[in-house]
Structure formats: C-alpha cells, structure tokens
C-alpha cells in the first residue's frame, strides 16, 4: 500500500511539472492553417493570360482562427489608394479549403470559393478558381503566404 501511494504521488508530481500549452498552441497543433499570413506572391490566370502581381506598393494579410477568416489588402504607397477587405466562415477538409464570404467591401458577399491548400513549415500556398458568373469573374489564382509571428 505504501508503494502504491508513493507511486501515485510521484506520478502526480511529474504530471504537474509538465509545461502547459496555451489555447493558441493547442489550436495551432490541431489546425496548422490557424494564424496570421502575409501574401508574398500572387498569380492570376485568366484564359491564356498569366499575371504575376509584383505586390509593389501593396500588402495583404489573411487571419484565420478555428472557424473564421478575414483578409485585408491595402496600398503601402501614397501614389495608390487601395483598400479591400472581407471575411467570413470557412470549411477545411483535408487540403480543400472553402471560404464563405459573409462580408466584403467590393460586392462579393454571400459567395463561396474552394481552394486547394498546401502548408509547409511557415508557407501556405492557396490555389483555385474564383468564379462569379453574374459579375463576369472567372479566373484561377495561386497565392503564396508566409506565417507572421
């Protein structure tokens, strides 16, 4: 009996000394997509035309938590005024990521877009089709982000 109590006390002490993970660390370990991401490369493909955006004078960030995403795209240059933002809920199944735009400042609200994503270390690659027939939007995108600490 004495050994059982001693063993139990030692096991409890060892368990109590283990570092506790924060909620954010637990969430990130479950969903590597969760975090803040900065756009570093953007390619748009429409028909047979490929446009690689230099991103000069622009910045874009995407913030993703366990159920929602938001993005902000703005100019960093005084010569160009630009501000685009949006967000909503998302679904993730394997590498298929679907954004449901609940709000957007350029008329894409209520639309959903499905992308394939790849995450490797601190890099997120998102690619897929943005298509809104009634607005004449139909192109493929390839966006590359890095995780912001």
Q: For residue range 23-51, what is the model confidence (pLDDT) as tens digits?
A: 444 444 457 999 999 999 999 999 999 99
Judge whether 37 and 144 are in contact, CB under 8 Å: no
Which class is domain 27-148? Answer: mainly beta
Q: For residue range 96-148, what is the model confidence (pLDDT) as tens digits?
A: 999 999 999 988 999 999 999 999 999 999 999 999 999 999 999 999 999 99
pLDDT band for position 12 (cuts 50, 70, 90): very low
Global pTM value:
0.77
How far apart CA 125 and CA 42 sit, in angstroms, is 10
pLDDT band for position 78 (cuts 50, 70, 90): confident
How far apart CA 58 and CA 75 sit, in angstroms, is 4
Q: Judging by beta carbons within 10 Å of its beta carbon (0-12, 13-18, 19+), is residue 92 exposed, middle or buried?
A: middle
Q: Where are the domains of the chain?
A: 27-148
Residue with tokens 């995780």: 147
């Amino acid at each position: 009996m004495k050994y059982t109590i001693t063993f139990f006390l030692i096991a409890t002490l060892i368990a109590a000394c283990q570092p506790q993970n924060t909620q954010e660390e637990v969430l990130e370990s479950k969903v590597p997509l969760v975090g803040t991401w900065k756009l570093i490369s953007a390619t748009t493909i429409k028909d047979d035309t490929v446009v690689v955006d230099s991103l000069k004078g622009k910045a874009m960030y995407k913030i993703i938590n366990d159920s929602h995403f938001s993005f902000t795209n703005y100019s960093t240059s005084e010569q160009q005024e630009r501000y685009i933002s949006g967000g909503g809920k998302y679904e993730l199944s394997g590498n298929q990521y679907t954004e449901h735009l609940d709000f957007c400042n350029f008329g894409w609200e209520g639309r959903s877009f499905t992308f394939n994503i790849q995450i490797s270390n601190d890099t997120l690659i998102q690619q897929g089709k943005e298509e809104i027939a009634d607005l004449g939007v139909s192109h493929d995108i390839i966006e590359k982000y890095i995780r912001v600490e």
